[in-house]
């Protein structure tokens, strides 16, 4: 299945049914009078976050969604049937924006969360509604109210606990493959990862977290270089960023600063998230090289730098334990009610 994280669609709720003009005419009833019923309500457009979806690929082939019109009223004061709503299922983490992408209309970040985006039109009144003591035979009946229609953008932001960031070929896909059951494409050339990948890490039967691997960033990604920085949206919800740096790079400090600059250019809130820096591919370095490059990184970043190798799994258990502890703390903060 192809991965698609944004789509533009057209939605229209149903028009209300029409009211009718009708009169009661029965042989043994002296005064009949008006008995035209009201129209039924048009169908709504409802979005629901579904747990079994992880891409917006379905909206590439189906882009127009229209609810049905409500039923027209009838004689004997019968109201038309209300139309069924159109329920559109989207992956958890989908955001709905207006056509200009300026205003976010909804954020479906939990399974089962629903949003009524377009309300169906109300049905028109039949002539029975207009009967009064002075107007006993009204011949007025209203048309149903029109439904709402609009173009909207859907944007998917994956729900993950840990986000992997780094330059192309920093070893992110290898780390994801050894830390979880995910099987991303791995090769010795840049931009092997072309779309985000998710993996579930299980430390024990009761502790687990989700890792999101996104395509590598390069200098100028916020200006469109490489694959751009659009995929950073998939790590905006993460509790912590794992910044992998290729230990065999010519300058590990420059590599770190390049990614930090792109994070800050994209969103300062994302750049402010907790970050763990890992010097990766240490199986290809000598102990002296590891020590020198680690010290240089710690001096530049002012933070502890962990040593890691996805190939030999050096430092992997300690890294996963640290990530799980941070995720546990963030989850506890989110579930603890704030003091009023």
Residues placed in the known binding site for Mg(2+): 173, 193
> Alpha-carbon distance 82 to 119, whole Å?
12
| CA dihedral sign of residues 288, 290, 295, 297 | positive
Residue with tokens 């931009």: 191
Q: Name the token pair of 14.
A: 């149903």
**Which residues have CB under 8 Å from 299's CB, separation 6+?**
none
C-alpha distances (whole Å) from 156 to each of 196, 233, 275 are: 11, 8, 23
Binding residues for GTP: 166-173, 191-195, 213-216, 280-283, 309-311
Per the DSSP assignment, residues forming a β-bridge with 88 are: 47
Which residues, listed in sequence order, are joined to residue 245 by a DSSP beta bridge?
A: 279
Among candidates 54, 68, 52, which has minimal Cα distance to 14? 68
The contacts of residue 54 (CB under 8 Å, 6+ apart) are 3, 91, 158, 198
- Listed in sequence order, the DSSP H helices in 107-217 are 172-179
Residues 165/235, Cβ–Cβ less than 8 Å: yes
C-alpha triplet 212, 215, 217: angle, nearest 5°: 115
Contact between residue 221 and residue 171 where contact means Cβ atoms under 8 Å apart = no
List residues forming the annotated binding site.
166-173, 191-195, 213-216, 280-283, 309-311
Cβ density class 102-134: b for 16+ within 10 Å, e for less? eeeebebeeeebebebbbbbbbbbbbbbbbeee
Joined together, the tokens standing for residue 219 give 């200098």
Residue 262 CB neighbour total at 10 angstroms? 25
């Amino acid at each position: 299945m192809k991965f698609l994280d944004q789509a533009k669609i057209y939605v229209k709720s149903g028009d209300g049914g029409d009211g009718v003009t009708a009169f009661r005419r029965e042989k043994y009833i002296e005064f009949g009078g008006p008995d035209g019923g009201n129209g039924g309500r048009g169908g709504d457009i409802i979005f629901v976050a579904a747990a079994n979806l992880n891409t917006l690929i379905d909206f590439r082939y189906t882009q127009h969604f229209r609810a049905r019109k409500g039923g027209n009223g009838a004689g004997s004061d019968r109201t038309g049937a209300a139309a069924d709503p159109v329920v559109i299922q989207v992956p958890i983490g989908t955001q709905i924006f207006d056509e200009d992408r300026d205003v976010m209309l909804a954020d479906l970040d939990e399974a089962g969360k629903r949003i009524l985006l377009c309300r169906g039109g109300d049905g028109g009144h039949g002539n029975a509604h207009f009967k009064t003591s002075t107007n006993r035979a009204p011949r007025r009946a209203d048309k149903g109210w029109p439904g709402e229609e609009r173009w909207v953008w859907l944007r998917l932001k994956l729900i993950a606990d840990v986000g992997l960031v780094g330059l192309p070929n920093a070893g992110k896909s290898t780390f994801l493959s050894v830390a979880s059951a995910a099987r991303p494409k791995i090769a010795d050339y840049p931009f092997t990862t072309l779309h985000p990948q998710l993996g579930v890490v299980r430390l024990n039967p009761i502790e687990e977290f989700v890792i999101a691997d996104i395509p590598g960033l390069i200098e100028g990604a916020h200006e469109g270089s490489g694959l751009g920085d659009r995929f950073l949206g998939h790590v905006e919800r993460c509790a912590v960023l794992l910044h992998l740096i290729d230990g065999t790079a010519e300058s590990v400090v420059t590599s770190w600063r390049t990614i930090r600059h792109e994070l800050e250019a994209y969103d300062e809130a994302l750049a402010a998230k907790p970050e763990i820096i890992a010097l990766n591919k240490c199986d290809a370095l000598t102990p002296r090289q590891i020590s020198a490059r680690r010290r240089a990184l710690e001096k530049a970043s002012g933070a502890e730098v962990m040593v890691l190798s996805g190939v030999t799994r050096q430092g992997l258990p300690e890294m996963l334990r640290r990530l799980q502890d941070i995720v546990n703390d963030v989850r506890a903060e989110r579930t603890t009610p704030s003091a009023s």
